[in-house]
Structure 1
Amino acid sequence: MPIDATAPYDDQNIFAKILRGEIPNKTVYEDEYALAFHDINPQAPHHILVIPKGAYVSWDDFSANAPETEIAGFIRAVGKVAREAGLVEPGYRLLANVGMDAHQEVPHLHVHIFAGRKLGPMLAQD
């Protein structure tokens, strides 16, 4: 169910539980700012999620409230994950849903990295 991106952070969300080690994941990268792991329901041959270690509901919350070092560290981690996975060529897509209309389902900022096939147009045609 899509969530309200302006709601307070819920520390019982699935990604908070993954960060605390309560739920296992297939980690591909971790540093002080981010954790990256394979999506359990992949939408492309390569589908990796990258989440910040801080408690941020959405990209909006993160960009407005995270310290500069955390923002830089997270963005660098996303790029490093894509490079280390060999996705730069032939290419990959980043996606961060924010709020109900974008169908954000987990109230913790997360960036999807999709790759491994031609991904088609950015949005479905009506």
Structure 2
Amino acid sequence: MADCIFCKIAQKEIPSKLVYEDDTVVAFRDLEPQAPQHVLVIPKKHVESLLALEEEDKALVSHILVDVIPQLAQKLGIAEKGFRVVANTGEEGGQTVKHLHFHLLGGRSMQWPPG
């Protein structure tokens, strides 16, 4: 999608602090981190949200959740103590960019409420 900021990041039209890239996925540091380690993991293919996934996208989402995120958690040093993965979906779900993305957060206690 031409005006999607995440598509532009994936295509390297907009600079980002990449921490991972392969043929189908990129991961980069969040500009407004909510934890010491806060990375966004996105498919290079434009998919608006979890609700827009199609049958052909199952392998892509599996790759992100089963391969990429655990590998990144290890790389970022947050795997041992724990981390959170969030996919905001829709306006009331807090999705501000209409491109499927997963927040990988760690490096502090992620318990709710904080305490």
In 1: Cα distance, 2:27 partner to 2:100 partner: 12
Asked whether the 8 Å contact 1:33–1:74 carries over to 2, the reply is: no
TM-score, with length taken from structure 2: 0.87
Structure 1 residue corresponding to 2:13, chosen from 15, 19, 22 = 22
Question: Relative to structure 2, which stretch is displaced further, 51-60 or 72-81?
Answer: 72-81
Overall identity of the aligned pairs, in %: 37
> What residue is the counterpart of 2:36 in the other structure?
45
Query: Does 1:85 pair with 2:90?
Result: no
Structure 1 residue corresponding to 2:62, chosen from 60, 72, 77 = 72
Asked whether the 8 Å contact 1:59–1:109 carries over to 2, the reply is: yes
Gaps of 5+ in 2: none
Gaps of 5+ in 1: 1-9
TM-score, with length taken from structure 1: 0.80
Higher relative contact order (Cα pairs below 8 Å, separated by 6+ residues): 1
In 1: Cα distance, 2:72 partner to 2:6 partner: 18
3-state SS in 2 of match to 1:81:
helix
